[in-house]
């Protein structure tokens, strides 16, 4: 990590749901909570709690010097809505096999 930049990953206890339109795309009570300097809190959801059957792999890939190379998935009306790090850097290895969405709802 560079000076002043921090990433923490911890097991969350929140009930997290992802809905697009009227469709539930993911729901879990075991998210990973990733906090990164300069970024909003992100919830990484275990792949088995995501409706992967509704998502289509995208050709988009981005690189983060702290997390690695991300792959993306889309819905017909929402490009690159979901991302994951198939081979994350060792410092954030816990996020492997977890997916992240731009918009999530945290329920009580």
Could you give the angle at the alpha carbon of 20 between the alpha carbons of 40 and 83, nearest 5°?
A: 50
Check residue 2 and give its pLDDT: 64
What pTM was computed for the model? 0.93
Check residue 107 and give its pLDDT: 87
Topology of domain 7-107 in CATH is 2.170.150
Encode the chain (108 residues) as per-residue pLDDT tens digits.
Answer: 567 899 999 999 999 999 999 999 999 999 999 999 999 999 999 999 999 999 999 999 999 999 999 999 999 999 999 999 999 999 999 999 999 998 898 886
């Amino acid at each position: 990590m560079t000076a002043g930049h921090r990433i923490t990953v911890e097991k969350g206890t929140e009930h997290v749901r992802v809905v697009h339109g009227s469709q539930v795309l993911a729901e879990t009570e075991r998210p990973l909570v990733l906090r990164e300097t300069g970024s909003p809190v992100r919830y990484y959801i275990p792949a088995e709690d995501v409706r992967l059957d509704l998502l289509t792999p995208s050709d988009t890939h981005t690189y983060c010097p702290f997390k690695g190379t991300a792959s993306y998935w889309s819905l017909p009306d929402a490009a690159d809505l979901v991302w994951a790090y198939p081979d994350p850097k060792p410092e954030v290895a816990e996020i492997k096999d977890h997916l992240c969405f731009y918009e999530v709802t945290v329920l009580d």
